[in-house]
Protein backbone atom coordinates (compact mmCIF):
# COMPACT_ATOMS: atom_id res chain seq x y z
CA UNK A 1 0.00 0.00 0.00
CA UNK A 2 1.36 3.45 -0.84
CA UNK A 3 2.11 5.93 1.91
CA UNK A 4 0.44 9.35 2.17
CA UNK A 5 1.59 11.92 4.71
CA UNK A 6 0.35 15.32 5.77
CA UNK A 7 1.20 17.76 8.54
CA UNK A 8 -0.44 20.87 9.87
CA UNK A 9 1.07 23.57 12.05
CA UNK A 10 -0.44 23.89 15.50
CA UNK A 11 -1.71 27.42 15.41
CA UNK A 12 -5.34 28.33 15.96
CA UNK A 13 -8.43 26.38 15.03
CA UNK A 14 -9.33 24.61 11.79
CA UNK A 15 -11.49 26.57 9.38
CA UNK A 16 -13.76 25.49 6.53
CA UNK A 17 -10.81 25.85 4.11
CA UNK A 18 -8.83 23.27 6.09
CA UNK A 19 -11.89 21.04 6.35
CA UNK A 20 -13.13 21.03 2.77
CA UNK A 21 -9.68 21.55 1.22
CA UNK A 22 -7.89 18.84 3.16
CA UNK A 23 -9.36 17.14 6.19
CA UNK A 24 -12.52 15.80 4.60
CA UNK A 25 -10.37 14.09 1.97
CA UNK A 26 -8.00 12.71 4.61
CA UNK A 27 -10.96 11.01 6.25
CA UNK A 28 -11.69 9.16 2.99
CA UNK A 29 -8.02 8.40 2.26
CA UNK A 30 -7.50 6.55 5.52
CA UNK A 31 -9.19 3.51 3.98
CA UNK A 32 -7.08 3.36 0.84
CA UNK A 33 -3.57 4.38 1.86
CA UNK A 34 -1.04 3.88 4.59
CA UNK A 35 -1.68 7.31 6.13
CA UNK A 36 0.49 9.42 8.42
CA UNK A 37 -1.11 12.59 9.76
CA UNK A 38 0.65 14.75 12.28
CA UNK A 39 0.64 18.07 14.05
CA UNK A 40 3.73 20.09 13.22
CA UNK A 41 4.40 21.61 16.63
CA UNK A 42 8.13 22.09 15.92
CA UNK A 43 7.31 24.10 12.82
CA UNK A 44 5.00 26.33 14.81
CA UNK A 45 7.95 27.36 17.04
CA UNK A 46 9.27 29.66 14.29
CA UNK A 47 6.82 32.31 15.53
CA UNK A 48 7.78 31.86 19.23
CA UNK A 49 4.41 30.94 20.76
CA UNK A 50 4.13 31.54 24.51
CA UNK A 51 4.99 28.36 26.51
CA UNK A 52 1.65 28.61 28.33
CA UNK A 53 -0.24 28.35 25.03
CA UNK A 54 1.95 25.85 23.20
CA UNK A 55 0.46 22.58 24.48
CA UNK A 56 -3.14 23.78 24.25
CA UNK A 57 -2.72 24.71 20.59
CA UNK A 58 -1.55 21.16 19.80
CA UNK A 59 -4.45 19.73 21.79
CA UNK A 60 -6.94 21.88 19.90
CA UNK A 61 -5.84 20.71 16.45
CA UNK A 62 -5.61 17.11 17.60
CA UNK A 63 -9.15 17.22 19.02
CA UNK A 64 -10.43 18.87 15.85
CA UNK A 65 -8.77 16.29 13.60
CA UNK A 66 -10.32 13.48 15.59
CA UNK A 67 -13.73 15.15 15.78
CA UNK A 68 -13.76 15.63 12.01
CA UNK A 69 -13.33 11.90 11.48
CA UNK A 70 -9.68 10.88 11.47
CA UNK A 71 -9.61 7.39 12.90
CA UNK A 72 -6.47 6.57 14.92
CA UNK A 73 -7.09 2.86 14.29
CA UNK A 74 -6.85 3.42 10.53
CA UNK A 75 -4.04 5.97 10.31
CA UNK A 76 -0.99 7.01 12.29
CA UNK A 77 -2.02 10.24 14.01
CA UNK A 78 0.85 11.79 15.96
CA UNK A 79 2.67 14.84 17.22
CA UNK A 80 5.81 15.80 15.29
CA UNK A 81 7.95 16.42 18.40
CA UNK A 82 7.16 12.91 19.70
CA UNK A 83 9.29 11.56 16.86
CA UNK A 84 12.94 12.39 17.68
CA UNK A 85 14.03 10.68 14.45
CA UNK A 86 12.59 13.66 12.57
CA UNK A 87 14.96 16.07 14.30
CA UNK A 88 17.89 13.73 13.73
CA UNK A 89 17.17 13.40 10.03
CA UNK A 90 16.71 17.19 9.90
CA UNK A 91 20.34 17.57 11.04
CA UNK A 92 21.57 15.19 8.34
CA UNK A 93 19.52 16.91 5.63
CA UNK A 94 20.66 20.35 6.74
CA UNK A 95 24.17 19.41 5.61
CA UNK A 96 22.81 19.02 2.07
CA UNK A 97 20.65 22.14 1.99
CA UNK A 98 22.36 25.26 0.69
CA UNK A 99 21.85 28.69 2.20
CA UNK A 100 21.19 30.29 -1.18
CA UNK A 101 18.44 27.87 -2.17
CA UNK A 102 16.74 28.26 1.22
CA UNK A 103 16.88 32.06 0.92
CA UNK A 104 15.25 31.85 -2.50
CA UNK A 105 12.19 29.99 -1.16
CA UNK A 106 9.04 32.03 -1.67
CA UNK A 107 7.63 31.31 1.80
CA UNK A 108 10.92 32.45 3.40
CA UNK A 109 10.94 35.69 1.43
CA UNK A 110 7.31 36.31 2.45
CA UNK A 111 8.06 35.74 6.12
CA UNK A 112 11.10 38.03 5.98
CA UNK A 113 8.97 40.74 4.44
CA UNK A 114 6.15 40.32 6.98
CA UNK A 115 8.31 39.84 10.10
CA UNK A 116 11.71 41.42 9.49
CA UNK A 117 12.36 41.41 13.25
CA UNK A 118 12.25 37.59 13.56
CA UNK A 119 14.25 36.05 10.73
CA UNK A 120 15.53 33.02 12.65
CA UNK A 121 17.37 30.14 10.96
CA UNK A 122 14.50 27.81 11.89
CA UNK A 123 12.50 29.83 9.42
CA UNK A 124 15.31 29.57 6.86
CA UNK A 125 15.45 25.78 7.18
CA UNK A 126 11.68 25.32 7.58
CA UNK A 127 11.58 23.36 4.29
CA UNK A 128 14.35 21.04 5.51
CA UNK A 129 12.36 20.12 8.61
CA UNK A 130 9.36 19.53 6.38
CA UNK A 131 11.51 17.31 4.13
CA UNK A 132 12.58 15.35 7.23
CA UNK A 133 8.88 14.86 8.18
CA UNK A 134 8.16 13.43 4.76
CA UNK A 135 11.33 11.47 4.01
CA UNK A 136 11.55 9.83 7.43
CA UNK A 137 8.46 7.81 6.44
CA UNK A 138 9.56 7.47 2.83
CA UNK A 139 6.15 8.87 1.90
CA UNK A 140 5.01 8.49 -1.71
CA UNK A 141 2.38 11.21 -1.68
CA UNK A 142 1.82 14.47 0.14
CA UNK A 143 -1.44 16.40 -0.32
CA UNK A 144 -0.33 20.03 -0.35
CA UNK A 145 -1.89 23.38 -1.05
CA UNK A 146 -0.31 25.67 -3.62
CA UNK A 147 1.79 27.50 -1.03
CA UNK A 148 3.51 24.22 -0.05
CA UNK A 149 4.36 22.99 -3.58
CA UNK A 150 7.79 24.59 -3.48
CA UNK A 151 8.56 22.89 -0.16
CA UNK A 152 7.69 19.55 -1.70
CA UNK A 153 10.00 20.30 -4.62
CA UNK A 154 12.81 21.05 -2.13
CA UNK A 155 12.03 17.71 -0.48
CA UNK A 156 12.54 15.97 -3.82
CA UNK A 157 15.81 17.84 -4.39
CA UNK A 158 17.08 16.78 -0.95
CA UNK A 159 16.00 13.16 -1.50
CA UNK A 160 17.84 13.04 -4.83
CA UNK A 161 20.88 14.78 -3.41
CA UNK A 162 21.08 12.40 -0.46
CA UNK A 163 20.69 9.30 -2.64
CA UNK A 164 23.29 10.50 -5.11
CA UNK A 165 25.80 11.77 -2.54
CA UNK A 166 25.71 8.53 -0.58
CA UNK A 167 25.16 6.21 -3.53
CA UNK A 168 21.96 4.72 -2.17
CA UNK A 169 18.22 4.76 -2.78
CA UNK A 170 16.99 5.31 0.75
CA UNK A 171 14.53 8.06 -0.16
CA UNK A 172 11.80 7.88 -2.81
CA UNK A 173 10.80 11.24 -4.29
CA UNK A 174 7.40 12.19 -2.89
CA UNK A 175 4.75 13.37 -5.32
CA UNK A 176 1.99 15.82 -4.63
CA UNK A 177 -1.27 13.97 -3.99
CA UNK A 178 -4.16 15.04 -6.20
CA UNK A 179 -7.64 14.47 -4.81
CA UNK A 180 -10.02 12.81 -7.25
CA UNK A 181 -12.29 15.84 -7.47
CA UNK A 182 -9.36 18.21 -8.13
CA UNK A 183 -8.16 20.92 -5.78
CA UNK A 184 -10.82 23.17 -4.33
CA UNK A 185 -10.33 26.66 -3.05
CA UNK A 186 -12.66 27.60 -0.24
CA UNK A 187 -13.24 31.34 -0.60
CA UNK A 188 -13.43 33.90 2.17
CA UNK A 189 -16.66 35.86 2.50
CA UNK A 190 -14.90 39.21 2.59
CA UNK A 191 -14.14 39.34 -1.12
CA UNK A 192 -10.47 38.63 -0.45
CA UNK A 193 -9.80 35.35 -2.25
CA UNK A 194 -9.24 32.27 -0.12
CA UNK A 195 -10.36 31.56 3.39
CA UNK A 196 -7.35 31.43 5.70
CA UNK A 197 -6.08 31.98 9.18
CA UNK A 198 -3.73 34.76 8.19
CA UNK A 199 -6.45 36.28 6.02
CA UNK A 200 -8.51 36.74 9.20
CA UNK A 201 -11.67 35.62 7.42
CA UNK A 202 -12.07 32.09 8.77
CA UNK A 203 -15.30 30.35 9.62
CA UNK A 204 -14.08 27.78 12.13
CA UNK A 205 -15.26 24.26 12.87
CA UNK A 206 -15.36 25.41 16.48
CA UNK A 207 -17.49 28.52 15.89
CA UNK A 208 -20.92 28.40 17.55
CA UNK A 209 -24.17 28.97 15.68
CA UNK A 210 -24.37 32.64 16.56
CA UNK A 211 -20.80 33.32 15.42
CA UNK A 212 -21.29 31.48 12.15
CA UNK A 213 -24.54 33.29 11.45
CA UNK A 214 -22.93 36.65 12.19
CA UNK A 215 -19.95 35.91 9.92
CA UNK A 216 -22.14 34.76 7.04
CA UNK A 217 -24.62 37.63 7.36
CA UNK A 218 -21.69 40.05 7.14
CA UNK A 219 -20.49 38.53 3.84
CA UNK A 220 -19.74 41.10 1.16
CA UNK A 221 -22.40 41.26 -1.60
CA UNK A 222 -23.37 43.71 -4.32
CA UNK A 223 -26.60 45.53 -5.14
CA UNK A 224 -28.05 42.51 -6.95
CA UNK A 225 -28.42 41.27 -10.55
CA UNK A 226 -29.94 43.69 -13.01
CA UNK A 227 -30.19 41.47 -16.05
CA UNK A 228 -31.51 37.89 -16.20
CA UNK A 229 -28.96 35.07 -16.53
CA UNK A 230 -25.99 37.35 -16.01
CA UNK A 231 -22.61 36.18 -14.83
CA UNK A 232 -22.12 36.31 -11.06
CA UNK A 233 -19.54 38.72 -9.67
CA UNK A 234 -16.81 37.11 -7.56
CA UNK A 235 -18.32 37.92 -4.16
CA UNK A 236 -21.61 36.27 -5.15
CA UNK A 237 -19.87 33.32 -6.77
CA UNK A 238 -18.06 32.86 -3.43
CA UNK A 239 -21.38 32.50 -1.60
CA UNK A 240 -22.49 29.92 -4.15
CA UNK A 241 -19.17 28.05 -3.86
CA UNK A 242 -19.75 27.63 -0.13
CA UNK A 243 -23.39 26.78 -0.68
CA UNK A 244 -22.36 23.97 -3.06
CA UNK A 245 -20.11 22.54 -0.36
CA UNK A 246 -22.66 22.47 2.45
CA UNK A 247 -26.16 22.49 0.95
CA UNK A 248 -28.41 20.09 -0.95
CA UNK A 249 -28.16 20.38 -4.76
CA UNK A 250 -31.84 21.41 -4.82
CA UNK A 251 -31.03 24.37 -2.55
CA UNK A 252 -28.21 25.48 -4.84
CA UNK A 253 -30.54 25.10 -7.81
CA UNK A 254 -33.25 27.16 -6.07
CA UNK A 255 -30.95 30.13 -5.44
CA UNK A 256 -29.44 29.82 -8.92
CA UNK A 257 -32.91 30.22 -10.40
CA UNK A 258 -33.54 33.18 -8.13
CA UNK A 259 -30.28 34.71 -9.36
CA UNK A 260 -31.13 34.05 -12.98
CA UNK A 261 -34.56 35.70 -12.79
CA UNK A 262 -33.21 38.57 -10.66
CA UNK A 263 -35.50 37.83 -7.70
CA UNK A 264 -32.71 36.72 -5.39
CA UNK A 265 -32.64 38.13 -1.85
CA UNK A 266 -29.15 37.91 -0.44
CA UNK A 267 -30.52 37.89 3.12
CA UNK A 268 -32.37 34.62 2.38
CA UNK A 269 -29.35 33.12 0.69
CA UNK A 270 -27.11 33.97 3.63
CA UNK A 271 -29.58 32.62 6.20
CA UNK A 272 -29.76 29.35 4.32
CA UNK A 273 -25.98 29.20 3.94
CA UNK A 274 -25.42 29.86 7.66
CA UNK A 275 -27.93 27.16 8.60
CA UNK A 276 -26.33 24.63 6.25
CA UNK A 277 -22.79 25.41 7.47
CA UNK A 278 -24.06 24.84 11.01
CA UNK A 279 -25.51 21.48 9.98
CA UNK A 280 -22.00 20.38 8.99
CA UNK A 281 -19.99 22.00 11.76
CA UNK A 282 -22.12 21.92 14.93
CA UNK A 283 -22.01 18.11 15.31
CA UNK A 284 -18.23 18.33 14.86
CA UNK A 285 -18.05 21.13 17.43
CA UNK A 286 -19.84 18.96 19.97
CA UNK A 287 -17.35 16.15 19.40
CA UNK A 288 -14.41 18.56 19.68
CA UNK A 289 -15.52 19.52 23.18
CA UNK A 290 -15.94 15.93 24.28
CA UNK A 291 -12.57 14.85 22.86
CA UNK A 292 -10.71 17.92 24.15
CA UNK A 293 -11.84 17.09 27.68
CA UNK A 294 -10.96 13.39 27.45
CA UNK A 295 -7.31 13.36 28.46
CA UNK A 296 -7.16 9.57 28.76
CA UNK A 297 -8.34 9.16 25.17
CA UNK A 298 -5.90 11.77 23.87
CA UNK A 299 -3.08 10.08 25.76
CA UNK A 300 -3.94 6.74 24.18
CA UNK A 301 -4.25 8.19 20.68
CA UNK A 302 -0.96 10.08 20.80
CA UNK A 303 0.93 7.15 22.35
CA UNK A 304 -0.29 4.74 19.71
CA UNK A 305 0.34 7.28 16.96
CA UNK A 306 3.85 7.90 18.26
CA UNK A 307 4.61 4.17 18.35
CA UNK A 308 3.42 3.63 14.78
CA UNK A 309 5.31 6.67 13.51
CA UNK A 310 8.51 5.86 15.40
CA UNK A 311 8.55 2.31 14.06
CA UNK A 312 8.53 3.64 10.52
CA UNK A 313 10.87 6.57 11.25
CA UNK A 314 13.53 4.58 13.07
CA UNK A 315 13.72 2.04 10.24
CA UNK A 316 14.37 4.84 7.72
CA UNK A 317 16.82 6.67 9.96
CA UNK A 318 18.87 3.49 10.43
CA UNK A 319 19.19 3.17 6.64
CA UNK A 320 20.06 6.85 6.24
CA UNK A 321 22.72 6.78 8.98
CA UNK A 322 24.25 3.65 7.52
CA UNK A 323 24.41 5.33 4.12
CA UNK A 324 26.13 8.39 5.63
CA UNK A 325 28.73 6.12 7.24
CA UNK A 326 27.72 5.93 10.89
CA UNK A 327 28.78 2.66 12.51
CA UNK A 328 28.36 1.45 16.09
CA UNK A 329 31.44 0.53 18.12
P1 LIG B 1 -4.06 28.86 6.56
O2 LIG B 1 -4.05 29.35 5.14
O3 LIG B 1 -5.30 29.20 7.29
O4 LIG B 1 -2.78 29.17 7.31
P5 LIG B 1 -2.94 26.26 6.41
O6 LIG B 1 -1.89 26.74 5.49
O7 LIG B 1 -2.57 25.88 7.79
O8 LIG B 1 -4.12 27.31 6.44
O9 LIG B 1 -3.74 25.07 5.72
C10 LIG B 1 -3.45 23.71 5.82
C11 LIG B 1 -4.10 23.02 4.62
O12 LIG B 1 -5.50 23.32 4.57
C13 LIG B 1 -3.54 23.51 3.28
O14 LIG B 1 -2.43 22.81 2.86
C15 LIG B 1 -4.72 23.29 2.34
O16 LIG B 1 -4.72 21.96 1.88
C17 LIG B 1 -5.92 23.49 3.23
N18 LIG B 1 -6.52 24.82 3.04
C19 LIG B 1 -6.31 25.92 3.81
N20 LIG B 1 -7.06 26.95 3.39
C21 LIG B 1 -7.77 26.50 2.32
C22 LIG B 1 -8.76 27.09 1.45
N23 LIG B 1 -9.18 28.33 1.60
N24 LIG B 1 -9.26 26.32 0.46
C25 LIG B 1 -8.87 25.04 0.30
N26 LIG B 1 -7.97 24.44 1.08
C27 LIG B 1 -7.42 25.14 2.08
N1 LIG C 1 4.43 23.41 6.23
C2 LIG C 1 3.09 22.88 6.27
C3 LIG C 1 2.08 24.05 6.32
O4 LIG C 1 2.43 25.13 6.72
C5 LIG C 1 2.90 21.97 7.46
C6 LIG C 1 3.81 20.79 7.36
C7 LIG C 1 4.91 20.54 8.14
C8 LIG C 1 3.70 19.73 6.42
N9 LIG C 1 5.47 19.35 7.74
C10 LIG C 1 4.79 18.85 6.69
C11 LIG C 1 2.80 19.44 5.39
C12 LIG C 1 4.97 17.69 5.94
C13 LIG C 1 3.00 18.28 4.64
C14 LIG C 1 4.08 17.42 4.91
O15 LIG C 1 0.93 23.85 5.98
Do 147 and 238 fall into the same domain? no
227, 156: one domain: no
Q: What is the pLDDT of residue 146?
A: 84
CA dihedral 199, 207, 143, 127 (to 10 degrees): 50
pLDDT at 16: 98
Q: Is 195 in the pocket of ligand 1 (CB under 6 A)?
A: yes
pLDDT for residue 66: 98
Q: Which residues of 173-188 are buried (b: 16+ CB within 10 A; e: fewer)?
A: ebebbeeeeeebebbb
List the domain range (segments joined by +) for residue 177. 3-184+295-324
Average pLDDT over residues 102-110: 96
Same domain flag for 275 and 140: no
Same domain, 77 and 139: yes
**Position 197 in a domain:** no
Q: Does residue 284 lie within any of the structural domains?
A: yes
Gap between the Cα atoms of 77 and 61, Å rounded: 11
Say if residue 316 is in the same domain as residue 267.
no
Residues 78 and 130 reside in one and the same domain: yes
Cβ 107 under 6 angstroms from ligand 1: no
Say which DSSP state 49 is in: -
- Our mutation pick for probing the ligand 2 site, out of 3, 18, 41, 43, counting the most ligand atoms within 8 A of Cβ, is 43
Which residue owns the Cα nearest ligand 1 atom 18?
18
Q: Give residue-wise pLDDT tens across range 258-315.
A: 999 999 999 999 999 999 999 999 999 999 999 999 999 999 999 999 999 999 999 9
199 lies in some domain: no
Interval 91-108 mean pLDDT: 97
- The alpha helices in 9-148, defined as continuous H runs, are 16-18, 24-29, 41-44, 51-67, 84-94, 99-103, 106-114, 121-124, 126-135
Question: pLDDT at position 193, please?
Answer: 87
For 197, phi and psi rounded to 5 degrees? -60, -50
Ligand in nearest proximity to the CA of 151: 2
Residue 151 has pLDDT above 80, yes or no: yes
The pLDDT of residue 192 is 75
Report the residue among 5, 37, 111, 130 best suited for mutation to probe ligand 2: largest number of ligand atoms under 8 A from its CB.
130
Nearest alpha-carbon partner for 205 in 279, 294, 302, 298:
279
| Per-residue confidence (pLDDT) for residue 182, from 0 to 100 | 74
**Shared domain check, 278 and 300:** no
Same-domain check for residues 77 and 123: yes
pLDDT at 270: 98
For residues 41 and 164, state if they share a domain: yes
Same domain, 221 and 299: no
Q: Can you give the pLDDT at residue 184?
A: 84
Q: In this structure, which ligand is nearest to the CA of 198?
A: 1
Please tell me whether residues 170 and 313 are part of one structural domain. Answer: yes
CATH number for the domain spanning 158: value is: 3.40.50.620
Which amino acid residue places its CA nearest to atom 15 of ligand 2?
8
Ligand 1 closest atom vs CA 187: 23
pLDDT recorded at residue 54: 97
21 pocket-lining for ligand 1 (C-beta < 6 Å):
yes
**DSSP H or E stretch at residue 36:** strand 34-40
Instruction: Write the CATH number for 270.
Output: 1.10.240.10
Measured in Å, residue 137 CA sits from the centre of ligand 1 at: 23
Given a contact cutoff of 8 angstroms between Cβ atoms, the answer to whether 125 and 94 are in contact is yes
Which whole number is the average pLDDT over 213-236?
95
pTM across the whole model: 0.94
CA distance 150 to 166: 24
Domain count, the chain: 2
47 domain residue, yes or no: yes
Question: Does residue 252 carry a pLDDT above 80?
Answer: yes
Q: Enumerate residues lining ligand 2, CB below 6 A.
A: 5-9, 40, 43, 130, 133-134, 142, 144, 148
In a domain, 71, yes or no: yes
Give catalytic residues, as residue numbers: 111, 194, 197
Contact 278, 215 (CB under 8 A): no
**Best CA proximity match to 199, nearest among 188, 214, 213, 211:** 188
Whether 194 is in a domain gets the answer no
Residue 147 pLDDT = 86
Residues 6 or more apart whose CB falls under 8 angstroms from that of 144 comprise 6, 151, 152, 176, 177
pLDDT confidence of residue 115: 92
Q: Does residue 192 fall inside a structural domain? A: no
**pLDDT value for 239:** 97
Measured in degrees and rounded to the nearest 5, phi and psi for residue 83 equal -115, 90
**For residue 189, is it within any domain?**
no
Name the pLDDT band for 15 (thresholds 50, 70, 90): very high
Distance 233 CA to ligand 2 centre (A): 33
Percent residues over pLDDT 70 in the chain? 100
Query: Tens digit of pLDDT for each residue in 156-199?
Result: 999 999 999 999 999 999 999 988 777 789 999 998 789 998 88
The average confidence (pLDDT) of the chain is 96
CA–CA distance from 207 to each of 186, 194, 202, 210, 319 (Å)?
Answer: 17, 18, 10, 8, 46
Closest residue CA from atom 10 of ligand 2: 7
Amino acid sequence: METVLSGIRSTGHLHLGNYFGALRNFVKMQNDYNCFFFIADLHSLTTHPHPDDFHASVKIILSEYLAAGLDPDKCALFIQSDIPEVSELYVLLNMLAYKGEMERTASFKDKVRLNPENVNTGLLTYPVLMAADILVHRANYVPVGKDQEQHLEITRVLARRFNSMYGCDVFPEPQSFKFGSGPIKVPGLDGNGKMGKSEGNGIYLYDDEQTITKKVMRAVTDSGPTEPNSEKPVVIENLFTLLKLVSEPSTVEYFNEKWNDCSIRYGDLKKQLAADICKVTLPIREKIDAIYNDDAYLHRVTSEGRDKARASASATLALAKKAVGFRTF
